[in-house]
Amino acid sequence: MTDQHDAAGTAALSGTLALGGDLPVHRLGFGAMRIVGEGVWGPPRDRDGALAVLRRAVELGVTFIDTADSYGPQISEQLIREALHPYPEDLVIGTKAGFVRTGPGRWHRLGRPEYLRQQVEMSLRTLGLERIDLFQLHRIDPEVPLADQLGELALLREEGKIRHIGLSEVTVDELSAARAVVPVASVQNQYAPSFRQSEDVLEQCEKDGIAFLPWAPVDRGTLAGAESPLAALAAERGVTPVQLALAWLLHRSPVMVPIPGTSRVAHLEENAAAAALRLSEEEAERIGSHLS
Mean pLDDT of 198-212: 98
Range of the domain at 210: 10-216+253-276
C-alpha pair distances (Å), 173 with each of 168, 169, 177, 209? 13, 12, 6, 17
In this structure, the number of other CB atoms found within 10 A of the CB of residue 87 comes to 17
Within 10 Å of residue 82's Cβ, how many Cβ atoms?
13
Q: Is residue 103 part of a domain?
A: yes
Q: Is the pLDDT of residue 72 over 60?
A: yes
Q: What is the pLDDT of residue 159?
A: 98
**pLDDT score for 226:** 87
Residue 222 lies in a domain: no
* 221 band by pLDDT with thresholds 50, 70 and 90: confident
Is 289 a member of any domain? no
189 burial level (CB within 10 Å; 0-12, 13-18, 19+):
buried
Is 52 contained in some domain?
yes
DSSP string of 219-280, one letter each residue: TTTTTSSTT-TTHHHHHHHTS-HHHHHHHHHHHH-TTB------S-HHHHHHHHHGGG----
CATH number of the domain enclosing 86: 3.20.20.100
- Structural domain contains residue 245: no
Answer yes or no: is pLDDT of 291 > 50: yes
- How many C-beta atoms lie closer than 10 Å to residue 108's C-beta? 12
Provide the mean pLDDT of the chain: 96
State mean pLDDT over 28-47: 98
> In the chain, pLDDT over 70 holds for what percent of residues?
97
Mean pLDDT of the 25-45 span: 98
pLDDT confidence bin for 68, thresholds 50/70/90 = very high
* Whole-number Å distance between alpha carbons of 37 and 73: 10
**8 pLDDT tier (thresholds 50, 70, 90):** low
pLDDT for residue 5 = 42
pLDDT score at 9: 81
pLDDT value of position 2: 43
Catalytic residues, by residue number, are: 71
Domain total in the chain? 1
**What average pLDDT does range 24-46 have in this prediction?**
98
pTM of the model: 0.96
Indicate the residue type of 32. Answer: A
Residues 53 and 31: their CA atoms lie apart, in Å, by 11
Asked if the structure places residue 124 within a domain, the reply is yes
Is residue 98 a part of any domain in this protein? yes
